[in-house]
Every structure is written in C-alpha cells, then in structure tokens.
Structure 1
Amino acid sequence: MTAPHPQVPVTVRMFSQRLSATRRGARLARRFTTQQLDAWGIPYGSELSETAELIVAELAANAVLHGRVPGRDIALRLTSSVGTVRVEISDARGECLPVLPSTPPDGDADTGRGLLLVDALATRWGVDTEPGPGKTVWAEIDH
C-alpha cells in the first residue's frame, strides 16, 4: 500500500462588492479591481492588473447598459488562486444573455467590441445563470 500524497496548501483570495447599476458603479468596479489585485500582490500597471481591469470595465459596462433593472445592483467578485485570476460581474437580467458577435462591428461603430475584447484577453469566459432572474458573466486569466 502506498502512502497518500500530502495535500499542498493553496491560498484562495476572494473579494466581493455590490455596486449601483450605473456608469459610476461600473467605474468603481474597475477601480476596486486594481486596488484589490494590488493588495494581493498583483501590482498596479502590471500586465495582469491591466488585463483584469479592462475585462471588468467591459463586463461592468455591459451589465449597466444591458442588465440594468431599476433598484437592483450589480455585483463584482474577484478570486485569485494559484495561476488564475477570476473576475465576475452579476446583474439582474438573466434573460438578456451576452452573445459574442460573429463579425467585428464596422470601424465607425460606437459599440459592439466589449465581448470581442473579453474573448481576446481572457483565457476563458462564460455566463452562469443564477437561481432567479440574474446572471453572472465571468472571465478567467491564467498567469
């Protein structure tokens, strides 16, 4: 009989914040992301911090534009574990699921690039529908 393999301790850090479903709430989500990552040892201005900030900016902007329900907040969740940072933005509109465009928008279009950016920057991303009327759009960045 072989001895069981010892388990290696893994540190998982988590942060969660509810924010108003407004442009100000989306800006705060981006700011909280860089501040929290810096507190976890992922410095401001690093490639990982800037990538996470851009992904959160796009997901939060989509949440306040397409997922807003008056009187309901959005939520930011960050998780950091060995080799991966996960960002999540939740909103109250589970019936309004994000769809990756099949073709890029016209060059002069003002919108339509957010999920294309998330798809290009994230290692993987997806959508979870919550029990009830909400959804969570998440993205993971391996480093």
Structure 2
Amino acid sequence: MPVATQTFFDHRPESVKAARDFTTRTLRDWGLDDTGDIRLVVSELATNALSHGSERHRGFLVRLEAQTDGVRLEVHDSRDALQPLPDPAEPDPAAETGRGLVIAAALAARWGVTPRQPSGKIVWSHFPTALPATPVQVSQEVRTC
C-alpha cells in the first residue's frame, strides 16, 4: 500500500452519480462497505466542480488513494479563471445550495484546497478507516481535465 485510482468525468450532471458509483465500487474493491460519508462528500465536491470549477468543455477528475491511516479523496477541476480558493461559509438557511464544503468539513477528518497546475484546483479530504492489508487496485482511466 498505498494504492490509488482515478477516473475522469465529463462536464454533465450525470457525472455526479457516476463519480459516486466509481467511489463506491473502488472502496468495495478495497474491502470497505461503510462508504456513506465518502460517497456524500464526493457527491458534494463533484457537484461543486461542475457548478463552479469546470468549464463546459472540460470535466473533473476523482482520485482515491488508500493510505496507511485511511482514504484520501481528491476532486480535481479545471477552471482557467483566477478565483479565490473556496472556503466553507455558513449558508443562508433558506438557500438550496452552498453546503458542499460545510458537509465535507464536517464529515472528513481533514480537508483542504490546493491550486492545480496549469489551472484549477484540487479539493481533498481524508477519512480515517481501517483498510484491509492489501486493497485490490481497480482500473483507471487517465485523461486530463
């Protein structure tokens, strides 16, 4: 260990479900069945990547890494425009959006945002969990976002 796998997703609303499904399959292949928190966070971060972080002609990448102390989830986006790095803010109680990073911060043991070169950012989160001694590596699709 560590083992990592990643998949690129197109800029389409259906990609959020596909990212969740990819995450579930990967974690189950690694011997983890209780994946609810990680699934919820990947869903929120993928939604944010589509809404705020990816141009229409570009998608986003989800990367999972089995680490000795848990699972690291990364969502890479590709927006060219210089924007401030996101920060979880207290959403308006009446708003229907704006809770993604608040949820990620609440469910992950650690999380952060890193600028990505040549453009975009990586929003990552870490979930402590006991992984089996030898997770099985699943196939990966490598494309740039």
TM band (smaller chain): 0.7 to 0.9
Percent sequence identity is: 36
What CA distance in whole angstroms lies between the structure 1 residues aligned with 2:48 and 2:86?
Answer: 9
Structure 1 residue 115 displacement after superposition: 0.7
One-letter amino acid matched to 2:88 = L
Deviation at 1:130, TM superposition (A): 1.4
Distance 1:64 1:107 in 2: 23
How much has 1:106 moved relative to structure 2? 2.9
2:137 counterpart residue number: none
Higher RCO, 1 vs 2 (CA within 8 Å, ≥6 residues apart): 2
List runs of 5+ in structure 2 lacking aligned partners: 130-145
Partner of residue 62, structure 2: 76
TM-score between the two structures when normalised by the length of structure 1 = 0.83
> What does residue 119 of structure 2 align with?
133
Match of 2:132 in 1: none
Residues of 1 paired with 2:101 and 2:24: CA distance? 20
Q: Which residue does the alignment assign to 1:65? A: 51
TM-score of the superposed pair, with normalisation by structure 2: 0.82
Q: Structure 1 unaligned runs (5+)?
A: 1-10
SS at match of 1:86: strand
Tell me if the contact between 2:114 and 2:123 (Cα under 8 Å) persists in the aligned partners: yes
Q: 1:22 aligns with which of 2, 12, 18?
A: 12
SS at match of 1:29: helix
* Between 88-97 and 66-75, the greater mean CA deviation after superposition: 88-97
Q: Work out the CA distance in 1 between the residues paired with 2:87 and 2:48.
A: 11
